[in-house]
Amino acid sequence: MEIAFAGRSNAGKSSALNAITGQKQLARTSKTPGRTQLINLFSLADPRHCLVDLPGYGFAKVPLELKEKWQASLSEYLEKRESLRGVVVLMDIRHPFKEIDQDLIYWAVESGLPVLALLTKADKLKSGARKTTLLQCREAALAFGGDVTVMAISALRGLGLDEVRRHLAGWLSLADELPDEPETDAEQ
């Protein structure tokens, strides 16, 4: 079972993955957006589960042809991956719900996948502003319908990491309860 991590190239996706897993160098981080250029799968303690680091979208300063190739890979993965159990959409807390983020969330909801809208870099806002932004984003997420949860984290300060870990563990434990293959009338 897989949980995909997607977000704009400057959203702090790799830092968030490293913080959530408690591994400092699991996903490669860089000050230059767009370093994740492949779909990377990271196994968890249970070998049936993994986290998937998807190439960032939008901001990376790379040739248009390469961006289009990334988008095609991302689309194919999201549309065809049967083991996908949820999508984490990472957004800088100071710039949430850009159009491309909303498109991905709507797609996931229409596909019946739960979404965790993860507001990264929460340490960039003071406590009051962080709480206000989180509440506004939670209210805005209601418009998507479906199973959309909004949380804020700071990879730098460790804010919200335990809550995110519990949420993702819940997705994987629910996936474990699903039958591997549906029974057909011929098998009964």
> Would you give per-residue pLDDT tens digits along the chain (188 residues)?
899 998 887 788 888 988 998 877 665 554 444 455 567 777 787 888 988 888 777 555 556 675 566 566 667 777 788 889 999 999 999 999 999 899 889 989 988 999 999 999 999 999 999 999 999 999 999 999 999 999 999 999 999 999 999 999 999 886 565 444 433 343 43
pLDDT of residue 179: 44
pLDDT of residue 14: 82
Residue 117 pairs with which residues in a beta bridge?
89, 150
pLDDT of residue 46: 84
Q: What six digits make up the tokens of 83?
A: 């083991």
pLDDT of residue 29: 55
How much is the pTM?
A: 0.82
CB atoms inside a 10 Å sphere around CB 28: 13
Buried/exposed code over 116-128 (b: 16+ C-beta within 10 A; e: otherwise):
bbbbbbbbebeee
- Residue 150 and residue 139: Cα distance in Å, rounded? 9
CATH of 2-178, one of 3.40.50.2000, 3.40.50.720, 3.40.50.300, 3.10.129.10: 3.40.50.300
The maximal CA–CA distance of the chain, rounded, in angstroms, is: 60
pLDDT of residue 62: 56
pLDDT of residue 181: 40
Q: Where are the domains of the chain?
A: 2-178
Residue 87 pairs with which residues in a beta bridge?
4, 115
